[in-house]
Amino acid sequence: MGRKEDDDTVERSEGGVVVVNPKPKKGVIGKAIDLLEKGIIKLMHDSTKPLHYLQGNFAPTDETPPLKDLSVSGHLPECLNGEFVRVGPNPKFAPVAGYHWFDGDGMIHGLRIKDGKATYVSRYVRTSRLKQEEFFGGAKFMKIGDLKGLFGLFTVYMQMLRAKLKVLDITYGNGTANTALVYHHGKLLALSEADKPYALKVLEDGDLQTLGMLDYDKRLAHSFTAHPKVDPVTGEMFTFGYSHNPPYITYRVISKDGIMQDPVSITIPEPVMMHDFAITENYAVMMDLPLCFRPKEMVKNNQLAFSFDVTKKARFGVLPRYAKSEALIKWFELPNCFIFHNANAWEEGDEVVLITCRLQNPNLDMVNGVVKEKLENFTNELYEMRFNMKSGAASQKKLSESAVDFPRINENYTGRKQRYVYGTTLDSIAKVTGVIKFDLHAEPETGKAQLEVGGNVQGIFDLGSGRFGSEAVFVPRQPGTESEEDDGYLIFFVHDENTGKSAVNVIDAKTMSTEPVAVVELPKRVPYGFHAFFVTEEQIQEQAKL
């Protein structure tokens, strides 16, 4: 049974999760807004060309209940008992106009592994947004893909009008929960950085049940990053949210028992997209990078609302991670860049070291719009950045050629010095061609024009022609840091465009052998998506008790 809040509008489950029960309204007003919207679309939007991120293996797929006893080639090691999950955009309803890859409803694809056997499942995260569009039987919420030029301004007004006239209920936000996953305090969380987390439960058979939204007993009143960090030693989770209104960044600490501490406001000159951050044992590393929210330029220059300012420096703020205010933050400047994803950070003498995927001139329009012959690629390169807390100096060192993204580590080393980074190689911004292993103790080879084995590149698992993958997650053979850091496996989804079939691959992280340890053939196509996570058997049993 749930319990009602004092204001009688929000119901909570016994675990403190907000039961998401929006109350949208049908009627004459809603139909009138729909007609107005259709007229504006007809005048201002070209709907004749197919949208790229709804084609091929970007196309959405239906939910799949648990399908067990899948075909396994090779063997699934005991340490993989648990559930491998990956989230991504999967729009349930066709967009009324534009569509950006970041827009789709969050769907989680899971592979439940137990005693060498595998079960596949896929489920939508039951967000307020999804529930309301199911109620209407079509798309009603604005999309990133529409926020471009003067048409973007009208799209914003349509959303505001629907909310003001109670056609849409924004009590529970309007996020998609489509970006990333993390496990903390007995709950699997589905995340998108424009909203609060959605809590899920992994059932014994692998099925995924949305419990509701997490607002930490009303202490969370802002958005929540898709990339929080869990300290493997203390069990705490560190997070932040960014906003279009001051304070533009808000930093938070959540205890191992799930208690959210008071907010710490971080002052920066203007609103920016801050997709990730990092922690060390004593610090949090914030990033003020010039992918700026400038709606006036959206209208004036017919571009997306976030635009990259090539004239501004990249700024990194190092804050004591238990700080009660921003008074002790130290800011460092490096040449202009943007970062979507960090691998890790740690302390080394007077320096804070950040390992990250750095890129120049990001253009979010590259993952937007109509079908293109060849997708472009971001120039992501692995970098080491150093911030000297004593002298105030900052430096950076290039560790790879392009293009590398989705960096992962053995997460038992989060916030501590580690040796190995596992990333994905990219043929285009959305097409993963392989998995790459970097050795940070080795020097990068100079004079290379592309990524290849040698120097600090210890191995590359190439997926082959027409085969594309996803973020690879490291699963250690043994828990903790007693065994060797790279003693474990990498697990990831693969789709073969030649056959239309999808699979899960498991490879040896130590050897990076071209021969997979296991391949699990999947009964359904798995679209390309975003971030993945591995829920251990211990975590499944822990959350089952809650």
pLDDT digits (tens, 9 = 90+) for 38-63: 999 999 988 887 888 899 999 999 99
In this predicted structure, what is the pLDDT of residue 1?
A: 38
How far, in Å, CA of 507 to CA of 74, rounded?
A: 11
Q: Are 108 and 122 in contact (CB under 8 A)?
A: yes
User: Is position 412 within any domain?
Assistant: no
Q: Report the mean per-residue pLDDT for the chain.
A: 94
Q: Of 363 and 2, which is predicted with more confidence?
A: 363
pLDDT band for position 522 (50/70/90)?
very high
What lies within 8 Å, CB to CB, of 120 at 6+ separation is 64, 66, 67, 70, 109, 110, 111, 112, 206, 520, 522, 523, 524
List, for residues 275-323, the tens digit of each pLDDT value: 999 999 999 999 999 999 988 888 888 878 888 999 999 999 999 999 9
Over pLDDT 70: what percentage of the chain? 95
Give the SS3 label for residue 244.
Answer: coil
Measuring CA to CA, which residue among 485, 475, 422 is closest to residue 80? 475
pLDDT over threshold 70, residue 94: yes
How far, in Å, CA of 209 to CA of 308, rounded?
A: 39
How far, in Å, CA of 323 to CA of 329, rounded?
A: 9
User: Is position 543 within any domain?
Assistant: no
Token readout for 526 is 């798995």
List, for residues 316-355, the tens digit of each pLDDT value: 999 999 999 999 999 999 999 999 999 999 999 999 999 9
pLDDT band for position 373 (50/70/90)?
low
State the CB neighbour count (10 A cutoff) for residue 60. Answer: 16
Mean pLDDT of 234-241: 98
Token readout for 64 is 């799949």
How far, in Å, CA of 546 to CA of 542, rounded?
A: 7
Find the helix or strand (DSSP H, E) in which 339 lies: strand 338-348
Range of the domain at 300: 227-365+375-398
Measuring CA to CA, which residue among 385, 372, 225 is closest to residue 317? 385
341 appears as a binding residue in the annotation: yes
227 appears as a binding residue in the annotation: yes
In this predicted structure, what is the pLDDT of residue 12?
A: 86
Measuring CA to CA, which residue among 51, 26, 268 is closest to residue 143? 51
In this predicted structure, what is the pLDDT of residue 142?
A: 94
pLDDT band for position 10 (50/70/90)?
confident
What is residue 126's DSSP assignment?
Answer: -
- Angstrom distances, CA of residue 465 to CA of 174, 196, 431, 495: 39, 39, 12, 11
Q: What domain count does the chain have?
A: 1
In this predicted structure, what is the pLDDT of residue 542?
A: 93
Place of tokens 């056609």: 167
How far, in Å, CA of 411 to CA of 435, rounded?
A: 17
Half-sphere exposure of 189 (CA within 13 A, CB side): 26
In this predicted structure, what is the pLDDT of residue 51?
A: 85
User: Is position 239 within any domain?
Assistant: yes
Measuring CA to CA, which residue among 219, 239, 215 is closest to residue 229? 239
User: Is position 33 within any domain?
Assistant: no
State the CB neighbour count (10 A cutoff) for residue 431. Answer: 18
Considering the entire predicted model, what is its pTM? Answer: 0.95
pLDDT band for position 370 (50/70/90)?
low
Amino acid identity for residue 465 in this structure? S
